[in-house]
């Protein structure tokens, strides 16, 4: 059981213990707060608890990519890569090497065994985390448990009190674990990322001002532009080759089509045009789109234009509540 010291993983551990599993708690210690909380919960549940240093794989697989993508004017999602390479990559291998049949986490998602393993949304759609898990494969899903998939957050809080867990009232962490309350811009500077100022232009090519470095901006961003135009301006395009940022109205930030790289499919590979719903960031409501192979690339065409389709973010494909797959947004098509 991957235990962060938070209420979700703590309740998940308690539920598994109650169901009769032999539970071993593991906390990945790469500067995470909560190791002591996880230890206290493990003691309360009378289960073994270990800490595991995962800093090297986190640096190699997540942090390096995080910095490189921002340098290229993209907006990465480190949680997707962390799930793929750290939690359900290195940690799952470690769990299996210890003789564990499953790795369990406190994610809000569900796994269903049909002709193949399916990844489904959680019952609590407000907390559903299937978006971050779309890169899981059949060999991983076979050995993963999500004990909270059929619970709401309110029910989990209630269970924490029922189990008399000290973390019952602990607030959920919203931060990226390796940032540790640090603004990502300061983190990039501390990582030695070179930041270079450049021009801000409108869609006609008129110079409106200067930006502080493309790594500090994302598509759809409105705040921090420092340009007075009499109406709201949004970042509509970031051009790393020329170190330029383009801004426009909210309407200018609406796009319909984009290409996906690093495509991954869970049940089976899509090789023809398919009508699905697509989510382009975690807090985006998935919308109808056509997903198709075109010139060896995956192309997504929304039925209606969407705001701020952002290179570097993940586009996740859904068929009702089943995650079909997804990929990284490579390029938005005009």
CATH 2.30.30.280 correct for 195-249: yes
The packing angle between helices 35-45 and 7-18, to 10°, is 20
What pLDDT does 293 receive?
A: 87
**CATH number, span 7-179:** 3.40.50.620
pLDDT at 32: 56
Tokens 């602990």 correspond to 170
Confidence at residue 31, expressed as pLDDT on a 0 to 100 scale? 55
Residue 103 contacts residue 139 (beta carbons within 8 Å):
no
Shortest CA distance to 248 belongs to which of 229, 262, 265? 229
The yes-or-no answer to whether 7-179 and 195-249 have a common fold is: no
Give which of 51, 6, 50, 5 is closest to 24, Cα–Cα: 50
Contact 321, 120 (CB under 8 A): yes
- Give the number of other CB atoms < 10 A from CB of residue 21: 18
Place of tokens 């009232």: 169
Q: What is the pLDDT along the chain (334 residues), one digit of tens a residue?
A: 999 999 999 999 999 999 999 999 999 876 556 789 999 999 999 999 999 999 999 999 999 999 999 999 999 999 999 999 999 999 999 999 989 999 999 999 999 998 899 999 999 999 999 999 999 999 999 999 999 999 999 999 999 999 999 888 887 776 677 887 778 888 998 898 888 999 999 999 999 999 999 999 999 999 888 898 889 999 999 999 999 999 999 999 999 999 999 999 998 888 889 999 999 999 999 999 999 987 778 999 999 999 999 999 999 999 999 999 999 999 999 7
Catalytic site includes residue 82: yes
Is 177 in the active site?
A: yes
Topology, domain 253-333: Elongation Factor Tu (Ef-tu); domain 3 (2.40.30)
Q: What pLDDT is recorded for position 113?
A: 94
Where in the chain are the domains?
7-179, 195-249, 253-333
| 29, 67, 82, 301: the active-site residue | 82
Q: Is 297 helix (H, G, I), strand (E, B) or coil?
A: strand
Residue environment code for 247-273, b if the CB has 16+ CB neighbours within 10 A, otherwise e: bbeeebbbbbbbbbeebbbbbeebeee
Q: Which of these is catalytic: 29, 79, 177, 301?
A: 177
The crossing angle, in degrees rounded to 10, of helices 153-162 and 7-18 is 60
């Amino acid at each position: 059981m991957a235990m962060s010291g938070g209420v979700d993983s703590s309740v998940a551990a308690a539920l598994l213990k109650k169901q009769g599993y032999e539970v071993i708690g593991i906390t990945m210690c790469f500067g995470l707060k909560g190791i002591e909380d996880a230890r206290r919960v493990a003691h309360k549940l009378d289960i073994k608890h270990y800490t595991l240093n995962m800093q090297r794989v986190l640096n190699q697989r997540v942090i390096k990519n995080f910095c490189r993508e921002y340098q290229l004017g993209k907006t990465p999602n480190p949680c997707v890569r962390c799930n793929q390479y750290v939690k359900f990559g290195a940690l799952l291998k470690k769990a299996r090497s210890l003789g564990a049949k499953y790795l369990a986490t406190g994610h809000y998602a569900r796994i269903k065994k049909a002709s193949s393993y399916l990844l489904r949304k959680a019952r609590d759609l407000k907390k559903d985390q299937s978006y971050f898990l779309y890169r899981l494969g059949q060999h991983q899903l076979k050995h993963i448990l999500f004990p909270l998939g059929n619970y709401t957050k309110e029910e989990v809080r209630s269970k924490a009190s029922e189990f008399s867990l000290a973390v019952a009232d602990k607030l959920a962490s919203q931060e990226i674990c390796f940032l540790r309350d640090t603004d990502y811009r300061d983190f990039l500077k501390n990582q030695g990322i070179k930041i270079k100022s450049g021009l801000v232009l409108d869609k006609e090519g008129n110079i409106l001002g200067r930006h502080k470095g493309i790594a500090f901006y994302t598509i759809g961003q409105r705040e921090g532009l420092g340009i007075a135009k009499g109406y709201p301006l949004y970042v509509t395009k970031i051009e790393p080759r020329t170190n330029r940022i383009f801004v426009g109205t909210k309407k200018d930030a609406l796009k319909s089509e984009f290409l996906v790289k690093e495509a991954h499919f869970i049940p089976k590979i899509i090789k023809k045009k398919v009508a699905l719903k697509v989510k382009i960031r975690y807090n985006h409501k998935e919308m109808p789109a056509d997903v198709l192979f075109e010139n060896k690339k995956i192309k997504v065409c929304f039925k209606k234009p969407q705001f701020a389709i952002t290179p570097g973010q993940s586009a996740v494909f859904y068929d009702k509540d089943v995650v079909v797959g997804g990929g990284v947004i490579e390029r938005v098509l005009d």
